[in-house]
Amino acid sequence: MKHSRAARLVSILAAGALLSACVSSRDTKNEVAVPQTVPASDLTGLTLQVGDQKGGTESLLRAAGELDNVPYKVQFSTFTSGPPQVEAATAGKIDFAVTGNTPPIFGAAAGAKIRVIAAYSNSAAGDQILTPTGSAVHTVADLRGKKVVVGKGSSAHGHLLLQLQKAGLTVKDIQLVFLQPADAFTALSQGQADAWAIWDPYTALAQNQLKVRTVATAESVTNGYGFGIAAVAALQDAKRNSALADFVRRVARASLWAKDHPDEWYQKYAAAIGIDPQVARVAQSRSLRLAIPINDAVIASEQQLADAFAQSGQIDHKATFSQFVDNRFGDQLSQFWTTAK
């Protein structure tokens, strides 16, 4: 397949309503009042607004049958990456979204009106730093002075930062260029970038469509966590809070279904986002996120990542991750948890 067609595929994956609401004043209050539970029968007129990244929450829920018999309506909006989902939640445009490990940190540093209400994990093998096959870059240390593209505030941004630290480098030692996946794909394919830090399914797509080599993966370097974030306004609203309690269970249950029915999931995933089934298989075999508890170890790991961003000057304010955690749905989710790392 020619690069132009591959770039169009990435554009399809990344396209959507990029809501650009600005994060407002800093919100440092930890506790958000828990409203009274509303019966499912009273949710019929409610529409839950859910942010999504193509190939993410909606396709998983549909494949697992978790969008059947929902007592409320669900409307999905597609975003290019996690940071604009955080912005949209702060602006009240969405009620919930699943992001990688880094967007909530950027949100916390900016005082976003969100809370982390669910956590997910995998091996982080799908987060990789790619370089053209003929490149002189073979290790992270070789990135010194090179142009590296990455989505600002994405999980790949966090991965790149930690890899640089591990190699004894800082962001000042590279030419850091912030690009969303479609533009980054084009830049790498046309020789306008030396390396690309990226996550699945874009990693798998690039490995299938471009002549690239993996410089490093995030395994054992980053924590591999993803998070379900909710707008504070939604958590304070009795009906939306009750719908969220149901919805996060559906997400966790769908992930377990995908784990137990991999071949069916790969096929449905490929069809849903319009990619080759083999690419879908590669991406989801290493990047399916299973629910885990938001325990002290998870919070501490995220705080280490937040501290690394603050120390590097990549965020203006040091974020206290624990202040943005809300475990109100922990009891309902515990039956779906796998062991946290």
Dump pLDDT digits (tens) for 288-326: 999 999 999 999 999 999 999 999 999 988 899 999 999
Share of the chain above pLDDT 70, in %: 90
Helix (H, G, I), strand (E, B) or coil at 67: coil
- State residue 292's pLDDT score: 98
Threshold 0.85, pTM exceeds: yes
Q: Which of 22-26, 35-39, 57-61, 209-213 has the lowest mean pLDDT?
A: 22-26
Dump pLDDT digits (tens) for 148-166: 999 999 999 999 999 999 9
Pick from 102, 105, 107: nearest CA to 94: 107
The span from the CA of 180 to the CA of 78, in Å, is 14
Phi and psi dihedrals of 211, rounded to 5? -90, 90
Pairing, β 290-292 against β 128-132: unpaired
